[in-house]
DNA sequence: GTCTATATCGCGATAGAC
DNA sequence: GTCTATCGCGATATAGAC
């Protein structure tokens, strides 16, 4: 028999999610989490850099998938189209929406520090998209913008998906992007100004 | 004579900026900052919730200005146009780019915790824009999207302004938005797919 | 795994402003 | 007198060093 129970990281994640849900993030100490997972606080910090990070694994898989997808596409489509298609593909591979994922979102929403970490992860997603586009030969400034837009669509789409109805994540991404395009298009005054020679 | 030197908060901000620039954020303790400002660490925490917050005042003025501006506009322009115009107006009221503001940006860029806080402030800006639009009768979902876009334009524009050439902040905001519109419009494949019935 | 720095916050006291 | 800014002390937990 092994000296330690396997998958300490997994047990820590489960313990943390449970405790954060039960008592709230601030009322939970890292020592509590470690105890429930059957390890010491020191071991916790070997697996996760800080108290927040337990809730944000998975992010790196998404980033890797997207970067790979963006760089291996060969079509003549423009960067924005390519990134949104990549997000839809990634969304199709997402695990189903479970009670736990909803709970996780609620925990994050309830605490400022956790919301900050989530934003940092999203910023990192934007950077990954921009870098992948850059490696595909897209101009860096344009890549930066498209990375930000892609990230925003993912953020709003995820939010809608978790909070909402029963549509698939991929479909939610698509409709979010459509709504964004509509908002950007502008009507009346805006259209007039634009056709008057804006860019 | 007053019992305490006035403007403790201001002295704390100055001291913090100096020390963060001299030794770096992590190498500076709150006690150091307080000492240089002539108060105790306990007093520091009465003015700023945590070690990072000293670098992010000013944000609330921007938010108040924008909310006010958005709600008092009367033109028939669509929300996106209104928000960008508001950002340009706010940018026109910004203090000049000084050595200190550049230094402040460099400090923030050099530390992950500070970048997280900056993102949180920007998220709060997006929320403020969305709420102001909501109070102006705009549909909440559309307001949310426009808030996010406005925030992004501000973020990218500020970054370009601080990092770049000699253009005014307002002009930088405008050209950033133009670039965003160009990226969103999409060419070739994207245009074809769109006219094939996407939105 | 142990040791430690320090960020953060609660509490009670103090002194001047109004 | 009440209000407000500050101090000083003490406690706890995160996070990094050794």
Is the CB of residue A76 less than 8 Å away from at least one CB of chain B?
yes
Instruction: Give dist(CA A168, CA A91) in Å, integer.
Output: 8
- Of A108-122, A174-188, B13-27, B160-174, least confident by mean pLDDT is A174-188
Is the CB of residue B93 less than 8 Å away from at least one CB of chain A?
no
Is the CB of residue B199 less than 8 Å away from at least one CB of chain A?
yes
Residue A45, CA: closest nucleotide via C1'?
D15
Residues B51-73: pLDDT tens digits?
999 999 889 889 999 999 999 99
Give the one of A120, A123, A145 whose C-beta lies nearest to B156's C-beta.
A145
Residues 12-51 of A with CB under 7 A from strand D: 28-31, 41-42, 45, 49-51
Residue B29, CA: closest nucleotide via C1'?
C6
Is the CB of residue A33 less than 8 Å away from at least one CB of chain B?
no
- With beta carbons less than 8 A apart as the criterion, state whether A109 and A162 touch: no
**pLDDT over 90 percentage in chain A:** 84
Q: Which residues of B touch A77 (CB under 8 A)?
A: 188-190, 193
Burial (CB < 10 A; 0-12, 13-18, 19+), residue A32, is: middle
Residues 9-38 of B with CB under 7 A from strand C: 29-31
Cross-chain Cβ contact B81/A145 below 8 Å: no
Q: Which residues of A touch B147 (CB under 8 A)?
A: none
User: What is the arithmetic mean of pLDDT over B70-82?
Assistant: 91
Say yes or no to pLDDT of B80 above 70: yes
Comparison of pLDDT for B124 and B190, the residue scoring more = B124
Say yes or no to pLDDT of A150 above 50: yes
Residues B156-168: pLDDT tens digits?
999 999 998 789 9
Residues B89-145: pLDDT tens digits?
999 999 899 999 999 999 999 999 999 999 999 999 999 999 999 999 999 999 999
Q: Which residue is it, tokens 């309830």?
A: A110
CA distance between the termini of chain B: 68
Count chain A–chain B contacts defined by CB atoms under 8 A: 108
Cross-chain Cβ contact A190/B148 below 8 Å: no
pLDDT at B195: 42
B42 touches strand D (CB under 7 A): yes
Say yes or no to pLDDT of A112 above 70: yes
Name the fold adopted by A1-56: Arc Repressor Mutant, subunit A (1.10.10)
User: What is the arithmetic mean of pLDDT over A66-81?
Assistant: 92
pLDDT at A128: 98
Say yes or no to pLDDT of A166 above 90: no
- With beta carbons less than 8 A apart as the criterion, state whether A130 and A140 touch: yes
Categorize the per-residue pLDDT at B194 as very low, low, confident or very high, splitting at 50, 70 and 90: very low
Can you give the residue ranges of every domain in chain A?
Answer: 1-56, 58-186
Is the CB of residue B6 less than 8 Å away from at least one CB of chain A?
no
pLDDT at A187: 59
Say yes or no to pLDDT of A196 above 60: no
Which bases of strand D have any atom within 7 Å of the beta carbon of a protein residue? 5-10, 12-17
pLDDT at B156: 97
Q: Which residue, B88, B80, B98, B191, is CA-closest to B142?
A: B80
What does the block give as tokens for A147? 């990375």
The reply to whether CATH 1.10.357.10 applies to domain B58-186 is yes
CB contact residues (below 8 A), chain B span 116-135, against chain A? 116-117, 119-120, 123
pLDDT at A74: 83
Say yes or no to pLDDT of A190 above 80: no
Categorize the per-residue pLDDT at A1 as very low, low, confident or very high, splitting at 50, 70 and 90: low
Instruction: Give dist(CA B74, CA A65) in Å, integer.
Output: 46
Residues A44-56: pLDDT tens digits?
999 999 999 999 9
Instruction: Give dist(CA A143, CA A127) in Å, integer.
Output: 9
Categorize the per-residue pLDDT at A58 as very low, low, confident or very high, splitting at 50, 70 and 90: confident
Categorize the per-residue pLDDT at A160 as very low, low, confident or very high, splitting at 50, 70 and 90: very high
**pLDDT over 70 percentage in chain A:** 93
Instruction: Give dist(CA A70, CA A136) in Å, integer.
Output: 8
């Amino acid at each position: 028999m092994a000296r330690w129970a396997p998958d300490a990281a997994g047990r820590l994640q489960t313990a943390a999610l449970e405790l954060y849900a039960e008592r709230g993030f601030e009322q939970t100490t890292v020592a509590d989490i470690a105890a429930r997972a059957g390890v010491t606080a020191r071991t916790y910090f070997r697996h996760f850099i800080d108290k927040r990070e337990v809730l944000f694994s998975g992010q790196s898989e998404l980033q890797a998938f997207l970067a790979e997808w963006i760089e291996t596409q060969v079509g003549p489509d423009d960067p924005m189209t390519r990134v949104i298609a990549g997000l839809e593909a990634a969304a199709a591979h997402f695990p189903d929406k479970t009670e736990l994922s909803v709970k996780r979102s609620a925990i994050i929403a309830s605490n400022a520090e956790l919301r900050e970490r989530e934003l940092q992860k999203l910023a990192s997603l934007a950077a990954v998209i921009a870098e992948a586009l850059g490696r595909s030969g897209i101009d860096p400034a344009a890549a930066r913008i498209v990375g930000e837009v892609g990230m925003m669509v993912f953020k709003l789409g995820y939010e809608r998906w978790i909070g909402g109805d029963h549509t698939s994540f991929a479909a939610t991404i698509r409709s979010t992007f459509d709504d964004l395009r509509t908002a950007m298009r502008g009507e009346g005054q805006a259209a007039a100004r634009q056709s008057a020679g804006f860019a």
